[in-house]
Amino acid sequence: MLSSAKDVYWGKKSKEVSTRRKKTASVFDRRALKDMKAGYERWLKEVYSPWVETAPELKAHFETASGVPLQPVYTPSDIASIAQSELALPGVFPYTRGVYPSMYRGRQWTMRMFSGFGTPEDTNKRLKLLLEHGETGLSVAFDMPTLYGYDADSEKAHGEVGRCGVNVSSLRDMEAIFDGIPLDKVSTSMTINAPAAVLTAMYAGVAKEKGLRLESLRGTVQADMLKEYIAQKEWVYPPEAHLRIVRDMMLYCTKHMPQWNYVSISGYHIREAGSSAVQELAFTLADGFGYVELGVEAGLDVDDFAPRLSFFFNSTMDFFEEIAKFRAARRIWATVLRERYGAKKARSLLLRFHTQTSGASLTWQQPYNNVVRTALEAMAAVLGGTQSLHTNSYDEAMALPTEHAVQVALRTQQIIAEETGATAVMDPLGGSYYVEWLTDELEAQAYRYFDRIERAGGILSAIKSGFLQREIAENAYRLSKRVESGEDVVVGVNKYTAKEGSPITTLKIDFKAQKRQVERVRKVRAERDAAKVRSALNRLTRAYDDPDANSMYPLMDAVSAYATLGEIVSAGRAVFGTYKEPQIL
């Protein structure tokens, strides 16, 4: 479904970026640069090197978390070849400094806390609590049975219902989650992938019941199946089948839900699986280009659907590398969409992204240290120009967050927004010799990865061969060894350890949640029109079996008839089968 033709574009781009520093200066005065470079070399020889000789620890090799070697200091000569176009102001191509002209002066980022546990009623209460405390967007987490497409009363769901997110088995559950919440006044993000089309249909069904037009709905469904095969491993069908369903959703939403972001291309899970910042940047954007090709192959004009593609990145502890990653991502996306895919509208070129602070950076040892970690990661996201932000709670290394912990996490964002002055100036680190050099370096390394992916046969072939998974596994092993050896310090874990006191209070999910959900789904089956459900599921099966049909229309009918999530997903299994990933080691 996705193009596998080898192309020289990526190789050309990687060489173009890599050779920028060798070109004639375009922003700085050539004579001044020559004097600065000579001064830097004298400083290295006469000041820095003698000082290092007296302090052996300064002889250590310094690098970013991705392994990018670092100089002791950066000067204008390190970005001598940077072009004025690459330093364009916010809201101007290639959007390195921000996608909107006013950025946070015009509107703060959306504070969108990831929430969901237990029953729909439990989650509804948490969502309302967050809105009362100043949250500006909703983000719903689902439990494992929902993520894999099983109903609450399935034997495969036993013990997992409501544990790591809210359980949804039918439209009835979605109605309870959003009871009393004005869907026309808030935007909603749903982190769901394999059954993303089903949950989108359920959300639309709730809106219809509230008398809302689908055109008014704002929000995002993740639906990033390429990422699932790379990192998170929550798929149901083979890749081609899931991509076909994503295609159907793209076509449907482009026509009927124009404000709905129907794919949130997720680097977050790639990073949590152990990738480096460079790999997160490259693999996430490569997935994005794959969805662009999917839309084009479906007959859509790139300018009709690209504005509805959004991104989801991680922000972890290497502060400056994270900022440079966000800046490089905007520049790459805008450049490639215009040059390779022919996008003409400015909105098609805007890489808009949500950020979540790193769950992998949180520790169960000395858990209050996580408040500091989250604050720094959140600040990097803000300085990097995020459009939406979730801050993890300090207790998430042990359990789902308590109300107290999630309130501290939300207040962290509000303090950054209201007290630090970080929102007063767009891209405040723009012009930093180090940040500009590092942005350029990450961009160059990303293009080199794109070239390798193309040579592997394209994004889908690179996934099915295990190439991307091996790259992540190798980096995860490298990072693990560095922590084990003490080369990388994790405060409270391998340095500055202390005897642990009383454990903090954590959220307990009552097993009664499973009992209530099982009772609800069985009641739904007993009360609905069984003939109507069978008819809707038969139409859905026929649509799945016809590659030219759009499965979203019969899917919407099946959801409205109260067909359950498990029944709908099983209809797909009967047509598409299942999938086993390749061996990567």
Q: Beta partners for 263?
A: 309
Of the two residues 501 and 299, the one the predictor is more confident about is 299
The number of distinct structural domains making up the chain is: 2
Residue range 55-65: average pLDDT? 80
Q: What pLDDT does residue 4 have?
A: 46
Percent of the chain with pLDDT over 70: 96
User: What CA–CA distance (Å, rounded) separates 445 from 451?
Assistant: 10
Percent of the chain with pLDDT over 90: 84
> 144 and 256: one domain?
yes
The mean predicted confidence, pLDDT, of the chain is 93
Q: What pLDDT does residue 2 have?
A: 53
- The verdict on residue 550 lying in a domain is no
Domain limit, last residue, from 445, 460, 485 = 485
Residue 213, CB-side half-sphere exposure with 13 Å CA sphere: 6
Residue range 420-426: average pLDDT? 96
Q: What pLDDT does residue 59 have?
A: 63
Q: What pLDDT does residue 1 have?
A: 47
Burial class (CB in 10 A: 0-12, 13-18, 19+), 416: buried
> 369 and 416: one domain?
yes
| DSSP output for 361-402 | T--SSSTTHHHHHHHHHHHHHHHTT-SEEE---TTTTTSSPP
Q: What pLDDT does residue 379 have?
A: 98
The length of the chain in residues reads 585
> 62 and 187: one domain?
no
Closest CA to 446 of 321, 269, 297: 321
- The verdict on residue 352 lying in a domain is yes
pLDDT at 20 over 80: no
- The verdict on residue 564 lying in a domain is no
pTM: 0.93
User: What CA–CA distance (Å, rounded) separates 182 from 219?
Assistant: 13
For residue 325, which amino acid is it?
K
Q: What pLDDT does residue 25 have?
A: 43
> 183 and 42: one domain?
no
Q: Which band of pLDDT confidence, cut at 50, 70 and 90, is reported for residue 187? A: very high
- The verdict on residue 512 lying in a domain is no
Give the dihedral sign, CA 151/156/158/163.
Answer: negative
The per-residue pLDDT for range 240-251, each reduced to its tens digit, is 999 999 999 999
Residue range 125-149: average pLDDT? 94
- The verdict on residue 10 lying in a domain is no
> 131 and 252: one domain?
yes
> 181 and 43: one domain?
no
- The verdict on residue 554 lying in a domain is no
Domain that holds residue 69: 24-80
The per-residue pLDDT for range 127-137, each reduced to its tens digit, is 999 999 999 89
Q: Which band of pLDDT confidence, cut at 50, 70 and 90, is reported for residue 26? A: low
Contacts of 432 (CB under 8 A, 6+ apart): 74
pLDDT at 29 over 90: no
- The verdict on residue 90 lying in a domain is no
The per-residue pLDDT for range 389-410, each reduced to its tens digit, is 999 999 999 998 999 999 999 9
The per-residue pLDDT for range 335-366, each reduced to its tens digit, is 999 999 999 999 999 999 999 999 999 999 99
Domain limit, last residue, from 458, 485, 512 = 485
CA angle 488, 494, 499 (to 5 degrees): 160
Identify whether the C-beta of residue 165 lies closer than 8 Å to the C-beta of residue 152.
Answer: no
User: Left (φ > 0), alpha (ψ -120 to 50) or beta: where does 427 sit?
Assistant: left
> 68 and 157: one domain?
no
User: What CA–CA distance (Å, rounded) separates 312 from 318?
Assistant: 18
Domain limit, last residue, from 32, 50, 80 = 80
- The verdict on residue 332 lying in a domain is yes
Of the two residues 207 and 12, the one the predictor is more confident about is 207
The per-residue pLDDT for range 215-235, each reduced to its tens digit, is 999 999 999 999 999 999 999
Q: What pLDDT does residue 506 have?
A: 87
pLDDT at 17 over 50: yes
Q: What pLDDT does residue 500 have?
A: 76
Q: What pLDDT does residue 386 have?
A: 98
**Of 1-5, 307-311, 501-505, which has the strongest mean pLDDT?**
307-311
> 242 and 324: one domain?
yes
Q: What pLDDT does residue 6 have?
A: 45
